[in-house]
Amino acid sequence: MDFGFGAADEDFRRAARVWLEEHLAGEFAAAVGAGGPGSEHERGEVRRAWERELGRGGWIGLGWDAESAEGVAGAADATGGAGATGGADAPDAEKSVYGTRRATLTQQVVWAEEYARVRAPARCGHVGENLLAPTLLAYGTQEQKDEFLPPIARGEALWCQGYSEPGAGSDLAGVRTTAVREGGGGGRGADGADGTYRITGQKIWTSLAHEADWCFVLARTEAGSRRHHGLSFLLVPMDQPGRIEVRPIRQLTGTSEFNEVFFDGARARAAHVVGGEGNGWRVAMGLLGFERGVSTLAQQIGFAQELDGVVREALRAGAAADPVLRDRLVRQWAELRVMRWNALRTLGSSGGDDGSPSVAKLLWGGWHQRLGELAMAVRGTAAAVGPTDWSADAPYELDALQRLFLFSRADTVYGGSDEIQRNIIAERVLGLPREAKGPVRGTP
C-alpha cells in the first residue's frame, strides 16, 4: 500500500483543527499539555470532562466497525435520517453505529497528529478506546459490543488492563489469578445472568486502576491448567467494595499512575467473557497487536515536542557547542524520522508481520530512554537540582525534563520488556528455537 495523505484527508485535517481550536477553550485550555507521562495526576476532573467533550464531538473511536458504518450511511441516505446516536458535532452521515465519526486509516492518523500538535489534554480513556474496543470488535459478541462500546464512545466509561502479576509480567502465560464459575453451565447466577465468575488474585502495574470504572482481566478459569491453556478474558466492574482493592504504587517521578489491584472474590458475569471460556490467550494476544497502531504516530509527535525542548535547553545552556552532544541531538532527530516512516510503512501494510509490533516497541522504548539521558546531559550538573527550593509542602518537585528522564527509565520494561520483544522476533519471525520454559512458580 502506498501510504499518503489525499485531498479528503486534508479536508479532514482542517475540520479537526477547527474543532480543536473551538473546543480547547475555558477550563480545557488551562489543561493543554496536562496529564502526560509522569504527570498523570494533573487536572484529572477536567481531563475526564474533556473525554466527554470528545465523545460529544464523535472523535472517540474513529474507524470503529467500518462495515456497520457503511450500512448506517446507506440507511441515512435512503431515509434522509440519522443512523446512529452520539457525536452531536458530526454530521449524521459521518457517524458509525456507535456514534463515532467515520474515518479512514489515514484520517485516523491525521486526527492523532492534530491532537498531539496542539498538545490537547492527555487522554484518560485511551485504554478503552485503543485496546478494549478493537478487541471487542474482533472477538466480542454483538451483545458485548452494544453494551460496552457506546459508553466508551461517549467518553463516559474508563477502563484499565489487568494483565501483569508479581510472577507474570512480560511472561504473561504465568498468570495465576483464578476465576471460578458459579451458577452452572446453563444455570442462572445470583445476578440473573447465565452464571458468574468469582475472581481471586493480584494484578500489578495496572495503569489508571484508581480511576477506572471497568477492568479487562486475564484469569485462569480451568483448574490445574498451565501456561497459555485454560485462560479467559473477563470484563470486571471495578466498583466492588470489599472485593476489589486498589493500592497506588509510588513511582520515581513521585506520582502514582500505576497500581496494585487485589481481587478477593470479585464478581464478573459469564456473559462478559470475551471470546469464550478458555480462549483468553488468543484474545489477549490479539489485544497486544492493537496496542501499537495509529497511536504510535501521535506518540512520535509528542516525542518531537520533547526533543524540541531538549534542543532549546542545549542552546540555552551552551551544550550545543559540544560536538559530542550536538551529534547525539542530530542522531535523536534522525532516528525519530526513521521511526515515523517505519510506523507509516507498517500501518499501510496488509498484515502478516508478527514482528512489527515488537520492532516498533524496541525502537521507541530505547529512543525515548536515550532522549531522557540526553536531557540530563545537556543540562550538566544543574540537572540534579529541582525547579523550586525544598519545602515540606513540595518535597519532590520536578521540571519537565527531569520527569522525562525518570519516567523513561521504564520505557524498555513496561508493555513487554526489550528481552521479551527480542524473543518474539527471534522465535516468530526468524524461526529460531524457542526459549526453554521452566515450571510456573507454585506449580509442580
Show which residues are catalytic: 291
- d(CA 103, CA 57) in angstroms, rounded, equals 14
Alpha helices, DSSP H, located in 291-414: 294-317, 323-347, 356-379, 400-407
Collapsing DSSP states into helix, strand and coil, what is residue 279? Answer: coil
Distance CA 146, CA 131 (A): 17
Exposed, middle or buried by CB within 10 Å (0-12, 13-18, 19+), for 125?
buried
- Whole-angstrom CA distances from 316 to 24, 320, 383 are 31, 9, 13
Query: Hunting for cell 524498555 — which residue is that?
Result: 412
Short-list 319, 330, 423, 398, CA closest to 370: 330
Distance, CA of 328 to chain centre: 29
- For residue 2, is it left (φ>0), alpha (ψ between -120 and 50) or beta? beta
Cα 435–chain centre separation: 28
Residue 273 is classified by DSSP as: E
| Cβ atoms 82, 95 nearer than 8 A | yes
Asked if residue 362 lies in contact with residue 356, where contact means CB atoms within 8 angstroms, the answer is no
Q: How many helices (H) and strands (E) does the chain have?
A: 13, 8
DSSP code, position 437: -
Cell numbers 443512523 correspond to what residue? 83
Cβ contact 86:100 at 8 Å? yes
Half-sphere exposure of 376 toward its Cβ, with a 13 Å CA cutoff?
Answer: 19
Cell of residue 101, nine digits: 465519526
Closest to 203 (Cα-Cα) out of 147, 239, 246, 162: 162
